[in-house]
Every structure is written in C-alpha cells, then in structure tokens.
Structure 1
Amino acid sequence: MLPWSAELAGRVERHVVDSAVLRGNPLGDPHERPLYVQLPPGYDDAPERRYPAVFVLQGYTGHLAMWWNRSPFRQPYPELADATFARGEAQPMIIVYVDAWTSYGGSQFLDSPATGRYQTYLCDEVVPWVDARYRTLADRDHRAVSGKSSGGYGAMVTAMLRPDVFGAFATHAGDAHFDVCHRAAFPAVARKLRDQHDGSYDAFLTAFRSRTLPPSGDDMELLEVYGYAAAYSADEDGTVHLPFDAHGAVVPEVWQRWLDRDPVVMAAQPRYRDALRSMRALWIDAGTRDEYYLDFGAAAFNAAVRSAGVPPELVHFELFPAGHGGIEYRYPLALAWLSHRLSP
C-alpha cells in the first residue's frame, strides 16, 4: 500500500457553500462551508446519465480536510471509494462530503438553539445545491446519508427526521443506546470538571479558548460532552443544560431530553417507525471491541429497526472484530451495498 496519494480514476471537486441558515449562528461559526463532491469514473463520458448520491458525515471534531489524512498502511476514504468504483464493485454514485463542524467540535447534525441549524443546512441547502449542479437522481429513493461515530448518529437521526430527503443510510459505530455509550462516563467527566475547572463549564470554555497549547485528552472529553449537551439539551434561548450534576449523578429531566434523541428510543416511536419502514436500505455495523460500547448501540438499534417492521432483506447488520478507530475500510463495503440498492 503506497504511503503517498494514489491517482484517482474519478475526481473530487471542492466547493464553498454560502449558507443562509448558518448566518448569525449562536457560536459565530462560519456560514461559508467547504463541500467536497466526488465523481465516479466515467462521469464525463455519458452526459445524459444521472447518478444516486450518498452524503457522508464525519465524527465528532471532524472537518473535511481530515478525509485526506493518511496513516501507515491505510488509505483515506476518497481513495478507497474511488478504487471500489474503478474495480466495478459498486455502481457509480456521487459522494458528497458535508461539513457540520462547530466551535464545540460538532453539531450532531441537528438543529439546536445553542449551535445552529445544521440539519436544515444539510437537508434544505446542501442537498438542493448538489442536485442543481450535478447529475444526481434527485429524489429520496436514490439518495443516502452515511457516517461513522457522530456521523453515524447523524445518518440514523437524519433519515428518521427527514425521510422526505433520504431514503437509505449507513451507520458505522454510530452513537446509539445512550444508557450504555454515554451515561457511564458522566461521573468521570464531572470529576475532571470539578478538579480542573472548579466544577464550571464556563471556566473550562474560557480556558480552552485561550490556550495556545494543543488540547489534552481531558479537554477533548469535556468539550465533547458539552457539545452533545448543546445538541440535545439546550433551551430556545441557547442555555445548555448538562445531564449530570456536580456529583456525577444523572439529572432525570435533562437526561430524558438526551434519550429523546437516542436513535434506539426514537425507533420505537410511531413517527420514526414509519420513516424507517420507508427506507430502501439500512446498513448498521460496529466493532466488537468498540471503546464506547457502540457495538451494543448497533445491536440495539438493529433490534429496534426489526421491531419497527423493516423487512430483513433491507437491513445489513454486522459486528466485526475491531475497536472504534481504524475502520475506514468498512465504508466502501457499505457504499457498494447501498449503490446496488439505490441505482435505477
């Protein structure tokens, strides 16, 4: 495996989207957002042909430049996807890489009064922007959303909240089953907040924003939990409520707001069950050694999907031997699987 960039059989085009809905967002984050569009080999050879599209979401703290990160003996996803098309393992698709970064590290791809309208940005601005400029099959039956970790979470909830836009999804180790993947971490986070910042998130955020040194692991853990709270439990005035108190115990009324956005819980509700049954394809996977226990989240969500009445032949569920990181080789597998189900 080459330690330098591979030559693509297709190409990636880089754009900037000027978002109306992200203008004036509560954090003052940029409203002009990068957008990458990957075209399959042969896109220019058949000018009448139209293609399914998959919109790819990143994990927490992810930004688009990271798609080109290269580790030893591993390839970045755009190269893996291109090779999958070139070998004929996947039907040609257009891949759209979406940015939803915030000053807290991410948005969970939801609309929130504390961060901004990122789900609206994805569904009502990015999707029409792409459809207007590229030869997509511009309807939900030929459009998927996919991602890993928080991106996988975004794929699940976006498909359930906006089945008018997306008719399929793939989630790789997506955040789900919050009682297992999140709740157990709260005492440790409360302790770090107490011992390092006098129990104050205001003090932490002030210190975090003023540092010149790279953030520590503790910094990132504190920021991530606050970012989740900003997505799941913020009031209309932007006030962010934590799901635990100063002693690390769950605050029931706030925790319920988090659970209301847990894909496993959502899948049991009639509105979202209907959305799931409308999907053309669902890919759910995770590593059996996932450090955040998202293998249990994947299994619980799969069970909820089956209980919702989604036909088994439309669902690919798999647990594989791996942790949370280094699983980008899974993405092309889901890409190929989706491509055969979304192509006309």
Structure 2
Amino acid sequence: MILSLLLTIVLESDPISAAELRDALKAPIDAEAGDRLADRIRERLPEGVDPARGAHFHDEGLAAFVLAVPSDANPAPRLEGMVTRQQGRDLKPIGETGLWAIVLEVANDQKFNYELTLGDDRIGGGSIEMPGWTYPPESSERPGQDYGTFREFNFRSEVFDNDRAGWIYIPGAYDGSEPAALMVFQDGDAYKREHVGTVVENLIADGEMPVTILALLNPGVNDDGARNRSVEYDTLSDRYATFLADEVIPRLESEFNLRDAPSFRAIGGASSGGICAFTVAWERPDLFGRVCSHIGSFTNIRGGGAYPEIVRESERKPIVKIVLHDGRNDLINRFGDWWEANIRMHEALTNKHYEVDFVTDDSYHGYQAAGRVLPETLRLTWEGWTD
C-alpha cells in the first residue's frame, strides 16, 4: 500500500528528480505507471541525448542512470565501472517502455566515470561531476604569475625494449642557475590533464615545494602496439627503477641542472602507477627519497598485496617521506579491495616508523581522484624540503 502510494506521488509532476526516480523504482511498475514514468524520465534527460546510448542525470547526493533496450532483455543491462566499485549493478525495467534505470547514492563532491552494458557489449557511458565537485584553487593559473612549458619526451628504452613517450615540465621559476629538484610521475598524460604543471608551479611560488623539473612518463608501447603498463608498474622488482636510473635520469641530467640528493627527488603515480612509485623508492631509496601514491594498487595484480608483510619483515629503509592517498569508494575486484589494501599499507609503514601520511576521502577510482588532492598530497610529499 505504501509503495503504491509512493509511486502515485512521484508520477504527479514533471520532470522527475533523481530522488523521485529512486523511490519509484522501489515499487512494482505496471504498464500504465511505466508509460508515465518513462515520459518523465525522458523530459529530465538533457536535450539531444539518446538513451539508447546511455544517459544520466544527478541531483544532490544521487545519480540516475538510464538506458533504452528492449524490455525483455535477458540478461538485464548493467551499470559498470568505478561508481559501482567495479561490482556492477542491474538496471530495473520501467514497465514495458524499453527504458531501464537505476539510482545510486554517491558522494556529492566527486567526479567519476561509468559504463552501461548489455551482456558483453558496452552500450554507453560517460563522466559525471556531482554538484559539489570542483578542482582545488591551485589547479588554476593565477593572474600575473609566470608558468612554465611542457616539452615532449620520447625515446627508445633498452631496459624494456619498447618505445617511450611522455612530457617534461620546466617550471617558469627554473633558469638553470641553481640546481632543481626532480619529480617523476607515471601515466604522464593523465597527470598533465589533471593540471599537475599548474599545481606544481603554484606550490613553488608559495614556497611549499622546491623548484622542480617534472618528468611525466607514459607506459612503454611494445613493438606489437600493446601497452606494457601492468608489467612495468605492477611487478615487484628493481627493473623500472633501473629504467629510471639508466635511461631517464641521465637524459634529464644532460639538459638540466638537477640536485642529486634523494631528499630532492620524488616519484608519484596513481593506481598501478602508485604502487610503481613505491616500488622504485623501495628498491632504490638512494635514487628517490619521496613517494606520492594516489589510489595505489597495493593488491594482488602481480603480487603487490604482499607489500605490508614485506615492509614489516624488512629493515627500515632511508625513505624520507611517503604519502598515500585513497578513497573509501575505491575498487573491489578479483585482485582485492583497494581501500583495505591502502589501510594495511599505511599500518605497516606506520608500525615501521616511516614518515607517512594517509590522505583519505570519498573518491572513486580514477585520475580525477588524484587531481582533486594533488595540492594537498604534494605539500605533504615535499614537507621539510628546505635546505
């Protein structure tokens, strides 16, 4: 009786809100109610959006996902991707209208990607910025301040026997008269999109990190065209550190005046790039003394879930600072639970008395999660940098 009354109420006015759709989906939807509800959903969708390719709308703390496929589809269409923590959720049919929908509670200050699938086929997807989402002010250029330049960084790796691409960021504050610090990021294109150059430039201007040359490195591309990302980033060995020591840093040192003390060299990355950053400092603390891991994959992709125990059983290494970041809405899949893995990693590092900070929020898995906390995490990474 209550559900029937609730459905009657939400069908009374147009267009529909995410909260009203959520409530309507709790009740059985007959043919007549389905027609009325489908009309309200279509009126809410942005103009020109074809629900056959997937659609969404959102309100405060709620996101609605809509797909148009036959009402007798079997299996049901599913919502996949980071917003479900990679668990997937079935959509519910709106009567016999051919519309299907689901509404999820989501963190109001987050941005995330999603996919809509039917069986093995990806039908649609997109990116959602919730009403409270915004980049931090350090991600925007400031009037009257000098900013640097990005330069392409391409070469052939002998260590991995593949082609490399990426970027060098030269801050406006660098003139070569004094040696600069160095920071390497994995997945360089992604960090470039997340305004890392602007953030670093603003932090340099504020005295919160030294003048720093950035090396933004993408995964290698093998001769067959396949990216070598997981092999390079998730493998627990010194091979990637050797690649940096033998092939990347010498190229940079030939052009830039760089500090060689580990306390003035940092490495960062997100997801598999985050565990890669830690592995480099773990294997070569003489090379990189500071680590910044965003949504780090300390899970069992290639054995990374063993790191907490490795840390506990090993002698403490001379790593100056470690910063971990993760969100409570991070992934859960066959490799593990990212949030729990980062908690375990933080506990292990703390128990061994490393200088470690753990930045937490409600973020989902994605580079935008790193972009949102870049200023905070880089401040912590470079804490105590002054001579």
Q: TM-score range by the shorter chain?
A: 0.5 to 0.7
Aligned to 1:282: 322
2:361 and 2:329 map into 1 onto residues whose CA distance is 9
What are the Cα deviations for residues 273-293 of structure 1, in whole angstroms up to 9, with x where unaligned? 422xx1111111111111233
The aligned amino acid for 1:79 is T
Query: 355, 358, 364: which is aligned to 1:323?
Result: 364
Instruction: State the secondary structure of the residue aligned to 2:359.
Output: strand
- Map 1:1-344 onto structure 2 (within 5 A): 9-23=147-161, 29-30=162-163, 33-44=164-175, 47-58=176-187, 64-69=188-193, 75-102=194-221, 103-109=226-232, 117-176=239-298, 178=299, 182=300, 228=301, 232=302, 258=303, 262-270=306-314, 273-275=315-317, 278-292=318-332, 293-310=337-354, 314-325=355-366, 326-327=368-369, 328-344=371-387
TM-score (norm 2): 0.54
Would the aligned equivalents of 1:39 and 1:95 in 2 still touch at CA under 8 Å?
Answer: yes
Q: Which runs of structure 1 show a deviation greater than 6 angstroms over 4 or more consecutive aligned residues?
A: 5-8
The corresponding residue for 1:250 is none
CA distance in 2, matches of 1:301, 1:108: 21
Give the residue type in structure 2 aligned to 1:128: P
Q: 1:342 to 1:157 in 2, by over 3 A?
A: same
Structure 1 residues without counterparts, runs of 5 or longer: 24-28, 59-63, 70-74, 183-227, 233-257
User: 1:169 offset after TM fit, Å?
Assistant: 0.5
Q: CA deviation at 1:48?
A: 2.3
Distance 1:101 1:334 in 2: 26
How many pairs does the alignment contain? 235
Counterpart amino acid of 1:21?
V
Q: Hey, what's the Cα distance between the residues in 2 that align with 1:100 and 1:43?
A: 27
After superposition, the Cα gap between the structure-2 partners of 1:126 and 1:274, relative to the gap in structure 1 and judged at 3 Å, is: same
Deviations 1:100-149 (A, max 9, x none): 2342551453697xxx9544212322122222321211132211111111
Greater helix fraction, Structure 1 or Structure 2: 1
Q: Please give the per-residue CA displacement for 1:20-53, whole angstroms capped at 9, x wherever unaligned.
A: 3233xxxxx42xx224221222212xx3211221
Whether the aligned pair in 2 keeps the contact of 1:9 and 1:86 (CA below 8 Å) is no
How far apart are the structure 2 equivalents of 1:153 and 1:125?
20
Contact 2:147–2:198 (Cα < 8 Å) also in 1: no
RMSD: 2.9
Is this contact kept in 2: 1:93–1:339, CA < 8 A? no
Give the strand-richer structure, 1 or 2.
2
Report the CA distance shift for 1:168/1:17 in structure 2 as closer, same or farther (over 3 A).
same
CA distance in 1, matches of 2:230, 2:386: 30
Tell whether the 8 Å contact from 2:263 to 2:320 is kept in structure 1 after alignment: yes
Match of 1:269, as an amino acid?
E
Q: Which consecutive residues of structure 2, in runs of 5 or more, have no partner in the other structure?
A: 1-133
